């Protein structure tokens, strides 16, 4: 059974989907079962550049991916950052060359997560 906000990836073509509704059954793409992307919190050697860091500001928050700024090259970059704010899910898309930082206008963050094209899904 799928769960709300789970992220799945096709290991063949790279398609990525996020669950908007729960359901039963198997998610298939390119003739293969899609792989659930587990949210990582800690992983030796990778945490300092992947885990979202939230800096509370007077008028919201600045969210940077990594205590040490994540690289943003063509080969290795953060594809998107999601912020759950007051029951609203906001996704910020990034591309190579961008800074791995987004701005949130809310102060209460139920969760923040980021997707690295090489190392997968990370949660604060």
| pTM given for the model | 0.89
Residues 51 and 31 in one domain: no
10-residue averages of pLDDT along the chain (124 residues): 94 96 93 96 80 87 91 97 82 96 76 93 91
Q: Which residue reads 């990594």 in tokens?
A: 66
Which pLDDT value is given to residue 109?
A: 63
Q: Are residues 14 and 61 in the same domain?
A: no
Do 87 and 41 touch, CB atoms closer than 8 A? no
Classify residue 60 as exposed, middle or buried by CB count within 10 Å of its CB (0-12, 13-18, 19+): middle
Domain that holds residue 88: 47-123
Q: Angle CA(69)–CA(72)–CA(78) in degrees, nearest 5?
A: 85
What confidence score (pLDDT) does residue 110 get?
Answer: 63
What is the total count of domains within the chain? Answer: 2
Does one domain contain both 62 and 96? yes
**Do residues 17 and 7 touch, judged by C-beta distance below 8 A?**
yes
Residues 14 and 62 in one domain: no
Q: Are residues 14 and 56 in the same domain?
A: no
């Amino acid at each position: 059974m799928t769960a709300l906000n789970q992220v799945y990836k096709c290991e063949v073509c790279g398609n990525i989907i996020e669950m908007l509704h729960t359901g039963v059954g198997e998610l298939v793409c390119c003739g293969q079962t899609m792989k659930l992307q587990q949210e990582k919190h800690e992983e030796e050697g990778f945490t300092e550049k992947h885990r979202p860091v939230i800096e509370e500001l007077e008028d919201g928050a600045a969210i940077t991916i990594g205590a040490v700024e994540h690289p943003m090259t063509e080969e290795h970059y953060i594809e998107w950052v999601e912020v759950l704010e007051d029951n609203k899910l906001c996704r910020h898309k990034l591309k190579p060359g961008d800074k791995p930082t987004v701005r949130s206008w809310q102060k209460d963050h139920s969760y923040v997560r980021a997707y690295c094209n090489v190392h997968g899904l990370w949660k604060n």
